Amino acid sequence: MSSISVKPSFWRREHHLDRMNFKQLVVAYFQYPAVIAYLLLAAASIGVWIWRPAGLIATAASVAVAILLYPLVWYVLHRWVLHSQWMYKVPVLAATWKRIHYDHHQNPNHLEILFGALHTTLPTIALATAPIGYAFGGLGGAAAGLAAGLLMTCFYEFCHCIQHLAYTPKHPMLVKMKQRHMAHHFHDETGNFGITNFLWDDLFGTSYAKVSDRKKSATVFNLGYTPEVAEKYPWVAKLSGGVATGHPSTRIRS
């Protein structure tokens, strides 16, 4: 009998944004399980709102607060959780830290690890939007706020993908976003924590427009998890097969 070859599914092979064009990104984006989950949950939340609608003002307030609050929530999490120096020191949190951000800085253009893990993103979105929405308009307000948060996440994730894509934006705002995010990944990771909005970077003094404004960081790719640190806190290194040093294109593991 001859063997039958089965073509692997779309996500059984790796995707790297620096090798993709815009059309390929759109195809990949709408096939990614996390994005599908966000869109389905947003549709379900809208369905709950239709079933138990809040008033117009309460709904508008729930949506507006979710949209306005999102950049601040992201800034706080990105700066003090994802770039923390404490998660990798706790054995039960080391794998989560590795998955949700360390791996992304190790290989910034790898699409599969760019998206957040659902077990970390969904509770965060719900906690940041649903309680405030409920305070404004009960169940309908909570559903409206949650739907807004989920759709904002989809927008944020798509913009994040574009910033890593082999694509030069034409709109000045997208150019600014991409320049600052690339500086965060390849020059100094202690600034430019925003993705689509840098207001909170400006307010907290972590914004920089040009790489010449700051000294090149020695930990821009490893977030401070150096071979020396790994000797004391080895859990991420064990999961990663060592500690990577240098630029992702010339990666060496110790």
- pTM recorded for the entire structure: 0.88
Residue 186 burial class via C-beta count within 10 angstroms: exposed 0-12, middle 13-18, buried 19 and up: middle
Q: Could you give the CA distance from residue 203 to residue 184 in angstroms, rounded to a whole number?
A: 17
Domain boundaries, given as residue ranges, for the chain:
16-253
Structure tokens at 235: 């859990």
pLDDT tens digits, the chain, 254 residues: what are they?
Answer: 334 444 446 666 778 898 899 999 999 999 999 999 999 999 999 999 999 999 999 999 999 999 999 899 999 999 999 999 999 999 999 999 999 899 999 888 888 888 888 989 999 999 999 999 999 999 999 999 999 999 999 999 999 999 999 888 888 888 889 999 999 999 999 999 998 889 999 999 999 988 898 999 999 999 999 999 999 999 999 998 878 776 665 554 55
